Amino acid sequence: MFLIGQYDSPFVRRVAIALRLYGLAFEHRPWSTFGDADKIAPYNPLRRVPTLVLDDGEALIESTIILDYLDELVGEGKAMLPRSGAARRKHLRICALASGLGDKAVSLLYERVLRKEQLALWVERCQAQIADVLGVLEAERARVTTPYWLGDRIGHADIAVACVVRFTREAHPQLFDAARYPALSAHADRCEALPPFRVIVQPLAPPKG
């Protein structure tokens, strides 16, 4: 199977890191949604990443769906998401907040690099959403006493948060102050020290307007 998308995307990166942690072999095709849209279209008409193309040709789109498939593939004992109950809901909530933060951080980046005149209302809205989500994630992570969000073993929430923190730091350094978000900073640094994070990484390369 092969994964489409560049690793400077927090969504592509979280999928690639999960694949590596699960020990699943994959080919990487670092196609850009801007420069390589025509290559992506046959697999994903939305021309979005990540897209994971399985060995039989089936194409899975959106990181949540891809990770759900990977969890099913490796089985309950190895899956990085609880199967049911309150722990699963908590984990999914953190993933949803991280994904939403990523969406807003990407939108704000595109607004800056693709528009000659930025729309102030949209910029202010994105910045407020980013700040609010970071505040919630910081408070929740500060209450966690275990190495990872739900215990001693890394999970999808940990990966999602670490990837989006790195993206936000690089894309909007003025919006992420490590002194203001010490728990998130420590969490991200712990994850980034792991071998899969060190291998699956790419400096931010935004599109040009």
Q: What's the confidence (pLDDT) of residue 209?
A: 56
Same domain? For 73 and 102 the reply is: no
Report CA torsion sign: 70, 75, 78, 83. Answer: positive
Same domain? For 96 and 75 the reply is: no
pLDDT digits (tens, 9 = 90+) for 17-27: 999 999 999 99
Q: What's the confidence (pLDDT) of residue 205?
A: 86
Same domain? For 12 and 105 the reply is: no
Same domain? For 22 and 100 the reply is: no
Query: Where in the sequence is the domain holding 167, given as residue range(s)?
Result: 85-194
DSSP code string of the chain? -EEES-TTSHHHHHHHHHHHHHT---EEE---TTTTHHHHTTT-TT--S-EEE-TTS-EEESHHHHHHHHHHHH-TTT-SS-SSHHHHHHHHHHHHHHHHHHHHHHHHHHHHHH-SS--HHHHHHHHHHHHHHHHHHHHHHHT--SSBTTBSS--HHHHHHHHHHHHHHHH-GGG--TTT-HHHHHHHHHHHTSHHHHHS---------
Q: What's the confidence (pLDDT) of residue 167?
A: 97
Same domain? For 163 and 105 the reply is: yes
Counting the structural domains of the chain, the total is 2
**Is 103 contained in some domain?**
yes
Same domain? For 90 and 179 the reply is: yes
Q: What's the confidence (pLDDT) of residue 114?
A: 87
Which CATH number goes with the domain that contains 75?
A: 3.40.30.10
Same domain? For 11 and 62 the reply is: yes
**Is 209 contained in some domain?**
no
Which of residues 31, 63, 79 is at a domain's end? Answer: 79
pTM comes to: 0.96
Residues (pLDDT < 50) of the chain are: none
Q: What's the confidence (pLDDT) of residue 118?
A: 83
Same domain? For 26 and 97 the reply is: no
Which of residues 62, 79, 96 is at a domain's end? Answer: 79
Which CATH number goes with the domain that contains 161?
A: 1.20.1050.10
Which of residues 24, 59, 79 is at a domain's end? Answer: 79
Same domain? For 159 and 107 the reply is: yes
pLDDT digits (tens, 9 = 90+) for 56-75: 999 999 999 999 999 999 99
Q: What is the mean pLDDT of the chain?
A: 95
Same domain? For 105 and 174 the reply is: yes
